[in-house]
């Protein structure tokens, strides 16, 4: 059984790693081409919008984790009715969320420094194309269909890149790059629907009426607060950089942090595979410990290797991906590598707490997010200091998080 668990972790991680590596490579081509075509100032604005998109991603991450927790232990014949129920619930909730987002236009305008409503309106429309596809991708992940999960991930990235290039060549600027997010959302919606309907069709006989119990909603609240803070940790600095620094410096900072995110999104393959296995084996301490150790091993290897590359070839990597206009960002490369390695470790520790339904996950991540905002607001002398402050916060919070995780993993539980 131990070998079986190892195979699931490594084989699943390998599939996700291939898919996410390809998707992330395409995503960075997106940033490469948009950065070169738009220039530092417009690219800084685009990155500001994308940074706030991560906060929308809080809702999708919350939904995804809650669905994985819901479907991870269900029987195959119970999956289809729950998918249909979730589709109805989420579609109904999308409209009030969109209206609320529109009310935030003045805040976005003043923070990101742009003119006109059109950019914001196009940005807001993506809300209708992120929730329903999340149901499908989370279902594939929960049922360990990692190949098809990776397939959708690659399709989204490729669609976003090609549509962005097409729209920008037609004469668009930031608006064209934002429009590509809508096209990618539509592709995700149709692919996800096709795959879930293929694997989990509704039975010919009318299934029993299913409901989402209070446990689903309470767990959703826990994951929402946790994910809001996790996203804040890799998004707030970009937004504050746009607010405090010049347009040119914020563009350099955005480029550096985007390069740093390569490390996180590469190691995310292990996190993607680990979480549904944490859920599945959360009541089996021995298996949970094995999965945690294997995931930690993979993450440590990937992050260490990437950090060495960033330290050794910072200027080459920056010039290769962004060009000479962003060459000054190379001085930040080693720091962003450390920053995102720590963030990846922190995310893994939080996954253990979420799998066990521990409220400490929300408390610790919220504390980290608040600490980051306070420190960056008080001390924003330069992009280098920004990243150094992030590293300090993440180091301390990883040490704090390891205390409850160690109790789960290493301390025998009372029966």
What pLDDT does residue 405 have? 93
Cα dihedral sign, 325-331-337-338 = negative
Domain ranges of the chain: 2-410
Query: What pLDDT was estimated at residue 142?
Result: 83
Tell me the mean pLDDT in the region 150-154: 88
Report which listed range, 68-72, 152-156, 278-282, 315-319, is most confident. 152-156
Top pLDDT among 3 and 30 is at 30
Neighbours of 326 (CB within 10 A): 23
Return the higher-pLDDT residue of 7 and 45.
45
Q: Provide mean pLDDT across the span 269-276.
A: 81
- Give per-residue pLDDT as tens, 181-206: 888 888 988 999 999 888 888 765 65
% the chain with pLDDT above 90? 16
Mean pLDDT value of segment 368-390: 86
Q: How far apart are CA 20 and CA 13, in angstroms?
A: 10
Q: Reduced to 3 states, what is the DSSP secondary structure of residue 130? A: coil
pLDDT of residue 415: 47
pLDDT score at 5: 47
Predicted confidence at residue 346, as pLDDT, reads 95
pLDDT at 92 over 50: yes
Task: Give per-residue pLDDT as tens, 297-331.
Answer: 889 998 999 999 999 988 888 887 777 777 777 88
DSSP sequence for 261-280 = HHHHHHHHHHHHHHHHHHHH
Given a cut of 60, whether residue 381 has pLDDT beyond it is yes
- pLDDT > 50? residue 4: no
Share of the chain above pLDDT 70, in %: 93
Of residues 261, 269, 229, 270, the one with CA closest to residue 369: 229
Question: For the segment 212-263, what is each residue's pLDDT rounded down to a tens digit?
Answer: 777 788 888 898 899 888 888 888 887 787 777 777 777 778 888 888 888 8
Separation of alpha carbons 105 and 52, rounded Å: 12
Residue 369 confidence class, pLDDT cut points 50, 70, 90: very high
Q: Output the average pLDDT for the chain.
A: 82
Tell me what pLDDT residue 50 has: 77
The tokens describing 372, both together, are 């980051």
Higher pLDDT, 348 or 93: 348
Please state the rounded mean pLDDT for residues 127-153.
84
Contact 405, 357 (CB under 8 A): no
Supply the pLDDT for residue 210.
Answer: 67
Place of tokens 């809300």: 127
**Sign, Cα dihedral of 164, 323, 243, 246:** negative
pLDDT exceeds 90 at position 345: yes
Tokens of 74: 């269900």
The highest-confidence range among 56-60, 73-77, 128-132, 352-356, by mean pLDDT, is 352-356
* CB-based contact 409:352 (threshold 8 Å): yes
CB 261 within 8 A of CB 340: yes
Q: How far apart are CA 178 and CA 172, in angstroms?
A: 10
């Amino acid at each position: 059984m131990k070998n079986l668990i190892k195979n699931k972790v490594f084989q699943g991680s390998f599939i996700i790693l291939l898919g996410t590596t390809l998707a992330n490579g395409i995503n960075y081509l997106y940033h490469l081409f948009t950065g070169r075509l738009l220039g530092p100032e417009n690219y800084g604005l685009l990155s500001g919008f994308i940074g706030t998109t991560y906060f929308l991603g809080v809702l999708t991450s919350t939904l995804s984790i809650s669905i994985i927790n819901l479907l991870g232990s269900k029987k195959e014949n119970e999956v289809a009715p729950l998918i249909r129920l979730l589709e109805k619930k989420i579609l109904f909730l999308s409209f009030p969320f969109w209206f609320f987002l529109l009310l935030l236009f003045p805040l976005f305008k003043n923070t990101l420094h742009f003119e006109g409503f059109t950019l914001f309106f196009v940005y807001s429309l993506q809300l209708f194309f992120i929730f329903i596809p999340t149901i499908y991708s989370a279902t594939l992940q929960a049922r360990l269909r990692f190949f098809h999960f990776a397939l959708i991930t690659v399709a989204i990235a490729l669609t976003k890149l090609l549509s962005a290039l097409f729209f920008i060549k037609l004469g668009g600027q930031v608006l064209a790059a934002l429009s590509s997010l809508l096209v990618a959302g539509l592709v995700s919606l149709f692919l996800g629907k096709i795959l879930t309907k293929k694997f989990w069709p509704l039975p010919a006989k009318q299934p029993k009426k299913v409901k989402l119990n209070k446990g689903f909603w309470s767990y959703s609240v826990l994951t929402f607060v946790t994910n809001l803070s996790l996203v804040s940790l890799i998004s707030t600095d970009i937004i504050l950089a746009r607010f405090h620094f010049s347009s040119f410096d914020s563009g350099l900072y955005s480029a550096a942090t985007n390069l740093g995110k390569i490390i996180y999104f590469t190691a995310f393959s292990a996190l993607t595979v680990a979480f549904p296995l944490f859920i599945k084996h959360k009541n089996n301490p021995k298996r949970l410990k094995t999965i945690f150790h294997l995931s930690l091993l993979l993450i440590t290897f990937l992050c260490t290797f990437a950090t060495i590359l960033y330290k050794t070839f910072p200027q080459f990597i920056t010039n290769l991906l962004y060009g000479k206009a962003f060459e000054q960002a190379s001085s930040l490369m080693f720091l962003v590598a450390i920053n995102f390695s720590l963030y990846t470790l922190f995310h893994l520790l939080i996954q253990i707490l979420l799998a066990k339904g521990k409220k400490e996950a929300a408390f610790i991540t919220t504390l980290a997010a608040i600490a980051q905002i306070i420190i960056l607001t008080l001390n924003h002398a330069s992009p280098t200091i920004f990243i150094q402050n992030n590293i300090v916060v993440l180091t301390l919070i990883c040490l704090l998080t390891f205390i409850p995780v160690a109790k789960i993993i290493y301390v025998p539980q009372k029966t």
